[in-house]
Structure 1
Amino acid sequence: MTELILHHYPESPFAEKVRLVLGHKKLAWKSVHIPAVMPKPDVVALTGGYRKTPLLQVGADVYCDTALIADVLEHVQPEPALYPAHLKGVARVFAQWADSTLFWASMTYSIQPRSMAQVFSSGEAGQAFAADRKAMRTNMTHLRLGDATSAYRSYLRRLAHMADEHDFLFGSEACVADFAAYHPLWFTRTRTPAVADILQPTPSLLEWMERVSSVGHGRFEPLDAADAVEVARRADPEPAGRNLLVDSAFQDDHGIPLGSRVTVSAESFGPEATEGELIAATRTHYSLRREDPRAGTVHVHFPRVGYVLRKAETA
């Protein structure tokens, strides 16, 4: 298998989720640091438009969204399992909640006036970040600080009830639910300590966080972003059905045949679309073939849930 290349930046909560999954699987990987805000020319060279963090690159195949990346890493290294057989459904549903509802309550609470100086190096950096994320919040309702604080407190208590019972949220071993729930709390605790007092009333949750953190990030080496793009240019993408996504049967819910020119974009956060030739539409994912002057021929993969498939507009 071609080496795993993670495109991320250290402060990204979702990147922390994947870094821990890599540690859980005891995998080796290459670390490419990318900007937190646009422009991201090396990212766009690989994805054609998608710009959220992180990305997983394997040769000329690019996997978007941590839900899909987790599936890929489960296929690469099945043990220890992210989706234990008796928890497959509940773990996935819980992770989806944690990556959305819990995440946005946490971020709104954490990035507030009391913590701004800890998150951003300057007022200008904070303004640039705020403008960048505002542009990404298409069709989203932005929580007010008071509402987010109330919700976050409730969610922390509920997670603490789970942590009271087991070493990890669903038992004695970590699974995808732990990594999905951990990363928003990690941001509060490590990036915004000025407001991390919200975690103190739940000591069992703090103990659980220590256990998750001890998983580590696996073995990694730095790689320059331009070199990662060159890796893609020199590689051939894997044919649909033979890449690191296990399902391949065509599932047509849109009346769009394979071979069509299409776009794929996120339903809400991060509306930038990727355009290409539809080469796979399975029960779990979409795959597009696209050409880039720098990266060459690449296959870009998205999860089906949370993403919108459309026919590309013709001139």
Structure 2
Amino acid sequence: MTTPPTLIFHHYPSSPFSEKVRLMLGYKNIPWKSVVIPMVSPKPDLIALTGGYRKTPVLQIGADIYCDTALIADVLEHIQPLPTLYPEPSKGMARILAQWADSTLFQTAMAYNLQPRGLSQLFEHAPPEAAQAFVQDRKAMSAGMARQRPQDATAAYKSYLRRLSDMLDVRPFILGDVPCITDFAMYHPLWFTRVRTSVLAGLLEATPAVLDWMDRMAAIGHGAMEKSSALQAIQVAAASVPAALHDDIFQDEHGIALGSQVVVSAESFGLEPTHGELVAATRMHYTLRRTDERAGLVHVHFPRIGYSLKPGEAA
């Protein structure tokens, strides 16, 4: 019997995208180690693993570093296929709806959640400068992006909640009798409203079917978690070798050969680049090989969708 890999999850408690993955880990009953990272930059211990990517969360398995929750979901599905995140016959619809939830719904919900009252509650037990640091950090990460005003976000959020409620009229989860990737993607921004900025959660009361569904999602839990540290995670990477790559490692859309120095960055939010040697470009993801003085040789993985690949120079 194959020993399951040790999953190290880099996150912080109030991160909505982290809540998405924490629930998926609970749903699949996969044990995991928790490394709590800073909410804002600098994040030197995380960067030692990713090479530049600083968004939250990140999944580490030995010397393999997985960025973005869309890719992390696929990794969890590979490790533990059942219960599946992509049930037939609606797995294509589930992925598309999840992508919408992780972008449009998330951005709308957070524009609502982080209005002054919500921001004040989020940092009510923190020093005064913490909220300002958070605001400046997120402004830097969203440079060039159109920002919704809270008033516009409120109107859109209410409409999205009504539409979600309609989808839950005849079934316990969004696409059927069991959760799928869509449920986890749609849940996490609403979780932030309900749990982290609860002073603003009154708008959820207009859609009781959504609240009932949220209760069912929350009941999944986070599974078996063990605390760890950033230093331990870096030591694990340094003592490990990246997993062998599969044969289907190259689907060329850019005219960039394997072995080339490249840079990968997100297309919208959080544009910090990661430099490395391109060692895989499958139909679903990119893999960069890079070396860090503390973490050693690592493979950093990104999904294709939402990320750009460009020629680069050795860092």
- Is this a same-fold pair by TM over 0.5? yes
Partners of 1:123 and 1:271 in 2: CA distance: 27
Partners of 1:314 and 1:66 in 2: CA distance: 27
Partners of 2:246 and 2:273 in 1: CA distance: 23
Alignment map for 1:278-293 (pairs within 5 Å): 278-293=278-293
Q: Which amino acid letter does the alignment assign opposite residue 301 of structure 2? A: H
Q: Which amino acid letter does the alignment assign opposite residue 128 of structure 2? A: G
Partners of 2:202 and 2:10 in 1: CA distance: 31
Question: What residue is the counterpart of 1:117 in the other structure?
Answer: 120
Partners of 1:284 and 1:30 in 2: CA distance: 26
Alpha-carbon shift at residue 163 of structure 1 (Å): 1.4
Q: Is the 8 A contact 2:265 2:307 kept in 1?
A: yes
CA distances 1:216-243 after superposition (whole Å, capped 9, x unpaired): 111010001111000000000112228x
**Residue 114 of structure 1: SS of its match in structure 2?**
helix
Question: What residue is the counterpart of 2:148 in the other structure?
Answer: 143
**Residue 275 of structure 2: SS of its match in structure 1?**
strand
Alignment map for 1:233-248 (pairs within 5 Å): 233-241=238-246, 248=248
Question: What residue is the counterpart of 1:220 in the other structure?
Answer: 225
Question: What residue is the counterpart of 1:46 in the other structure?
Answer: 49
CA distances 1:256-282 after superposition (whole Å, capped 9, x unpaired): 000000000000100000000000011
313 and 138 in structure 1: CA distance in 2 versus 1, 3 angstrom threshold? farther
- The question of 1:162 aligning with 2:173 is answered no
CA RMSD of aligned residues (A): 1.2
Partner of residue 37 from structure 2, selected from 4, 20, 34: 34
Partners of 2:88 and 2:212 in 1: CA distance: 26
**Structure 1 gap ranges (5+):** 243-247
Alpha-carbon shift at residue 85 of structure 1 (Å): 1.9
**Structure 2 gap ranges (5+):** none
Partners of 2:231 and 2:78 in 1: CA distance: 27
Tell me the TM-score normalized by structure 1: 0.96
Q: Which amino acid letter does the alignment assign opposite residue 112 of structure 1? A: Q
Partners of 1:155 and 1:101 in 2: CA distance: 10
Query: Where in structure 1 do 4 or more consecutive aligned residues deviate above 3 Å?
Result: none
Question: What residue is the counterpart of 1:265 in the other structure?
Answer: 265
Alignment map for 1:202-213 (pairs within 5 Å): 202-213=207-218
Partners of 1:258 and 1:138 in 2: CA distance: 31
Q: Which amino acid letter does the alignment assign opposite residue 215 of structure 1? A: I
Partners of 2:252 and 2:143 in 1: CA distance: 27
**Residue 169 of structure 1: SS of its match in structure 2?**
coil
Question: What residue is the counterpart of 1:71 in the other structure?
Answer: 74
Question: What residue is the counterpart of 2:86 in the other structure?
Answer: 83
CA distances 1:17-67 after superposition (whole Å, capped 9, x unpaired): 000000110110101000000010110000000000000000000000000
Percent of counterpart pairs with the same letter? 60
Alpha-carbon shift at residue 123 of structure 1 (Å): 3.0
Question: What residue is the counterpart of 1:253 in the other structure?
Answer: 253
58 and 213 in structure 1: CA distance in 2 versus 1, 3 angstrom threshold? same
Alpha-carbon shift at residue 138 of structure 1 (Å): 2.9
Partners of 2:275 and 2:110 in 1: CA distance: 30
Partner of residue 18 from structure 1, selected from 17, 21, 24: 21
Tell me the TM-score normalized by structure 2: 0.96
Q: Which amino acid letter does the alignment assign opposite residue 269 of structure 1? A: F
Q: Which amino acid letter does the alignment assign opposite residue 232 of structure 1? A: A
**Residue 259 of structure 1: SS of its match in structure 2?**
coil
Alignment map for 1:150-189 (pairs within 5 Å): 150-189=155-194
Partners of 1:26 and 1:139 in 2: CA distance: 39
Partners of 2:274 and 2:264 in 1: CA distance: 5
Alpha-carbon shift at residue 115 of structure 1 (Å): 2.1
Partners of 1:303 and 1:182 in 2: CA distance: 21
Partners of 1:224 and 1:83 in 2: CA distance: 32
Q: Which moved more, 1:225-234 or 1:133-142?
A: 133-142
Alpha-carbon shift at residue 313 of structure 1 (Å): 4.2
